[in-house]
Amino acid sequence: MNRSKMMKAGLAIGLIGGIISMILVGYAWDGSFQSITNVGFSLLVMALFFATAGGFADGTNMSGKSVAIIAAICVAAVVVAMLYNSQFFLVHLLLIALGVAEIFLASSSKVIFYTDTNRPA
């Protein structure tokens, strides 16, 4: 069965969100001890975006609904990071928009059906 365009879009959006978060890690680190929390939040968001992208990949071990749950946790982590650190407010708004798009894609019946039927045994 061929992957749908929604699966490819979800993978691409997750990778873009992870790469943007990786760039934020570099900008958040200033060499001081006070920047550790900003770097930690950026690393958390990066890991969650890459995990969401992995849910849209071929051969994923996630069930269909767990991809939407991870995407929702990713959006919550971005909101917490944005409330804690207002340094990159517009970038966090972009990451929230990408996360909401991931939630909508992961909640699609086509994506849930594909991930549930094409999981490796």
Q: Integer distance in angstroms from the first to the last C-alpha of the chain?
A: 16
What's the one-letter identity of residue 108?
A: S
Give the residue carrying structure tokens 């849209």.
Answer: 56
Residue 120 DSSP symbol? -
Give the three-class secondary structure for 59: coil
pLDDT per residue of the chain (121 residues) written in tens, 0 to 9: 456 788 889 999 999 999 999 998 888 888 888 888 888 888 999 999 999 999 888 778 888 888 999 999 999 999 998 888 767 889 999 999 999 999 999 998 888 888 888 777 6
Domain that holds residue 105: 5-117
What 1-6 contacts at long range (C-beta under 8 Å, 24+ apart), as own/partner pairs, is 1/114, 1/117, 1/118, 3/58, 3/114, 4/110, 4/111, 4/114, 6/105, 6/108, 6/110, 6/111
Structural domains of the chain, count: 1
pTM above 0.75, yes or no: yes
